[in-house]
């Protein structure tokens, strides 16, 4: 039976912290989001995949691989048929593997409803929450967003039974397009336009979570550290391997990284038995992790640096705690290292490098001119990191290498036009946005007002 422990379980004697030494089910890890000691939930044991089963997914639709991986984690807690339904319902879009040259590929994870790879995790998590909630209880997801995460989460939960979503965003800090994306989701998803900053939104959400007077509303978070968002992110690695690798071969993945949740999916896939030769984790100029692998000392970047690949502007990745734990170390939420991991082992498995904005732009231009493959800034960081790895390790290799493209180029029209003088084709999901209508509810940054609104509007039962 797989049980989930907290990354903070060994932090006895740390001021203000009571380590959580318990074990919980997937369901509890999913609904609670994080451990009571603010640590991150970790599965133990990590389930194993049979290489024959993986190879059998060659040529099969994405959903076959998804069922294989999800079942490995969930078979004690959900019937196979339910898992199959969750998967079919989550993944109704393409996952193209585009050849760049030889056996070098780009895997496009940008075909979901909000055109970023976050759709993969958010959609499956939403459906799992709906199936695993207590019968008759309605869950209310509350999120503060500065833009993109809120829309991925909102879209993922749209129409999902038994769950409502309330999204708080700072009125003057989101772009016109983001506002439209948030305000017009509709159905069970409501946007609150807050007269304040992102920090105000986050504080309001925190106050609501700690308010025992709201217990009957079953508030929950859809945080990026929820293990329910990590598990689905190991599926596409297995899918790519099944499609591209031959018998006895290994594969290299390059994952443009910010909070490290996506790369963690690859780390788990390898530990489940996927033959991964190297996990390449390029970052933008927020270089705390590549610096750590070089020097052996971890120092977060604070404040984080604003780079072109803006979804990766993270100075202390929240999922670093999970990587450290898997390699025998402990780092807390604030970036303090309590025990260093086995760095030799880490260097054997993980290659990381910082890619500057300048290199990112050059890569977008070069990959387009040389191969007619269109990348946006996040994918370009991934591609450049892969090149750095091949240069550092061995030169070209015979085995497949896959770089993840995490967003659609049409989300970065200004950069693409400036660099390439072309306008990227806009996917249908983004075109549909123009026709949508809907209004946010406006609120001041005042907890009393939010509280009254939630009590008036939300329901705690079906």
C-alpha 45/C-alpha 1 separation (Å) is 8
312 binds ligand PLP (CB under 6 A): yes
Q: Which stretch binds ligand PLP (CB under 6 A): 126-134, 158-166, 255-263, 358-366?
A: 255-263
CB 364 within 8 A of CB 371: no
C-alpha 93/C-alpha 427 separation (Å) is 12
196, 228, 256, 329: which one contacts ligand PLP (CB under 6 A)?
A: 256
257 binds ligand PLP (CB under 6 A): yes
What string marks each residue from 343 to 382 as x (binds ligand PLP by CB under 6 A) or -?
-----------------------------------x----
311 binds ligand PLP (CB under 6 A): yes
- In angstroms, how far apart are the furthest CA atoms of the chain? 62
Nearest to 153 by CA among 133, 169, 137: 169
Nearest to 57 by CA among 78, 75, 72: 72
151 binds ligand PLP (CB under 6 A): no
Instruction: CB nearer to ligand PLP: give 122 or 139.
Output: 122
What string marks each residue from 381 to 420 as x (binds ligand PLP by CB under 6 A) or -?
-------------------------xx-------------
C-alpha 188/C-alpha 291 separation (Å) is 44
262 binds ligand PLP (CB under 6 A): yes
Instruction: CB nearer to ligand PLP: give 251 or 263.
Output: 263
261 binds ligand PLP (CB under 6 A): yes
Instruction: CB nearer to ligand PLP: give 67 or 314.
Output: 314
Kindly give the pairing relationship between strand 189-195 and strand 441-444.
Answer: parallel
Instruction: CB nearer to ligand PLP: give 19 or 377.
Output: 377
232 binds ligand PLP (CB under 6 A): no
Q: Which stretch binds ligand PLP (CB under 6 A): 129-137, 165-173, 260-268, 431-439?
A: 260-268
Q: Would you state the structure tokens that stand for residue 140, as one six-digit string?
A: 């209310």
Shortest Cβ 378–ligand PLP spacing (Å): 4
Q: Which stretch binds ligand PLP (CB under 6 A): 3-11, 196-204, 240-248, 254-262?
A: 254-262
Dihedrals phi, psi of 6, to nearest 5 degrees: -100, 140
284 binds ligand PLP (CB under 6 A): no
258 binds ligand PLP (CB under 6 A): yes
Instruction: CB nearer to ligand PLP: give 237 or 260.
Output: 260
Instruction: CB nearer to ligand PLP: give 20 or 91.
Output: 91
Q: If you write DSSP's letter for every residue of 76-128 in order, what string do you get?
A: TTS-HHHHHHHHHHH--S---EEEEETTEEEEE---STTSBTHHHHHHHHHHH
Tokens 């019937």 correspond to 79
Shortest Cβ 405–ligand PLP spacing (Å): 9
9, 27, 111, 118: which one contacts ligand PLP (CB under 6 A)?
A: 118
Q: Would you state the structure tokens that stand for residue 230, as one six-digit string?
A: 């990590």
Shortest Cβ 443–ligand PLP spacing (Å): 27
Q: If you write DSSP's letter for every residue of 393-460 in order, what string do you get?
A: HTSS-SS-EEEEE-B-GGG-HHHHHHHHS--PPPPHHHHHHTT----PEEEES-HHHHHHHHHHH--S
Question: Can you say whether the dihedral through the CA atoms of 72, 75, 79, 83 is positive or negative?
Answer: negative
Instruction: CB nearer to ligand PLP: give 184 or 262.
Output: 262
C-alpha 445/C-alpha 442 separation (Å) is 10
Residues binding ligand PLP: number (CB under 6 A): 16
Instruction: CB nearer to ligand PLP: give 170 or 256.
Output: 256
136: left (phi over 0), alpha (psi -120 to 50) or beta: left
Identify whether 148 is preceded by a cis peptide bond (ω within 30 of 0): no
Footprint on this chain of ligand PLP (rule: CB under 6 A): 116, 118, 148, 256-263, 311-312, 378, 406-407
């Amino acid at each position: 039976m797989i049980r989930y422990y907290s990354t903070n379980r060994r932090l006895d004697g740390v001021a203000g912290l009571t380590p959580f030494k318990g074990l919980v089910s997937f369901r509890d890890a999913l609904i609670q989001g994080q451990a009571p000691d603010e640590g991150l939930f970790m599965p133990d044991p990590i389930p194993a995949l049979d290489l024959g089963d993986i190879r059998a997914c060659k040529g099969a639709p994405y959903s076959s691989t998804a069922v294989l991986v999800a079942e490995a984690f969930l078979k004690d807690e959900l019937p196979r048929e339910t898992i199959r339904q969750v998967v079919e319902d989550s993944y109704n879009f393409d996952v193209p593997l585009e050849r760049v040259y030889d056996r070098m590929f780009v895997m496009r994870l940008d075909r979901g409803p909000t055109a970023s790879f976050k759709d993969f995790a958010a959609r499956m998590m939403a459906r799992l929450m709906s199936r695993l909630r207590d019968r008759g209880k309605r869950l209310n997801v509350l999120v503060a967003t500065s833009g993109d995460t809120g829309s991925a989460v909102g879209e993922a939960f749209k129409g999902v039974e038994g769950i409502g979503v309330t999204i708080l965003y700072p009125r003057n800090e989101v772009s016109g397009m983001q506002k439209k994306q948030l305000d017009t989701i509709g159905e069970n998803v409501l946007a609150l336009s807050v007269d304040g900053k992102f920090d105000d939104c986050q504080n309001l959400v925190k106050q609501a979570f700690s308010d025992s007077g709201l217990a009957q509303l079953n508030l929950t978070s859809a945080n990026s550290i929820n293990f329910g968002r990590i598990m689905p992110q190991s599926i596409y690695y297995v899918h790519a391997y099944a499609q591209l690798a031959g018998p006895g071969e290994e594969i290299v993945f390059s994952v443009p990284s910010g909070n490290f949740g996506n790369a963690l999916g690859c780390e788990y896939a390898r530990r489940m038995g996927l033959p991964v030769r190297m996990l390449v984790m390029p970052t933008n100029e927020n270089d705390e992790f590549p610096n750590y692998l070089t020097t052996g000392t971890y120092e977060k970047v604070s404040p984080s640096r604003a780079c072109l690949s803006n979804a990766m502007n993270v100075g202390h990745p929240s999922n670093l705690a999970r990587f450290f734990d898997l390699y025998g170390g402990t780092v807390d939420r604030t970036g303090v290292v309590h025990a260093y991991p086995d760095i030799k082992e880490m260097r054997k498995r993980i290659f990381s490098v910082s890619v500057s904005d300048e290199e990112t732009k050059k890569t977008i231009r070069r990959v387009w001119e040389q191969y007619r493959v269109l990348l946006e800034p996040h994918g370009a960081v991934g591609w450049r990191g892969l090149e750095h790895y091949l240069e550092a390790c061995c030169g070209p290799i015979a085995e497949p290498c896959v770089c993840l493209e995490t967003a659609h180029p049409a989300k970065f029209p200004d950069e693409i036009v400036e660099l390439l003088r072309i306008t990227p084709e806009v996917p249908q999901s983004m075109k549909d946005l123009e026709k949508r209508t809907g209004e946010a509810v406006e609120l001041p940054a005042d907890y009393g007002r939010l509280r009254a609104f939630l009590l008036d509007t939300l329901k705690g039962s079906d």
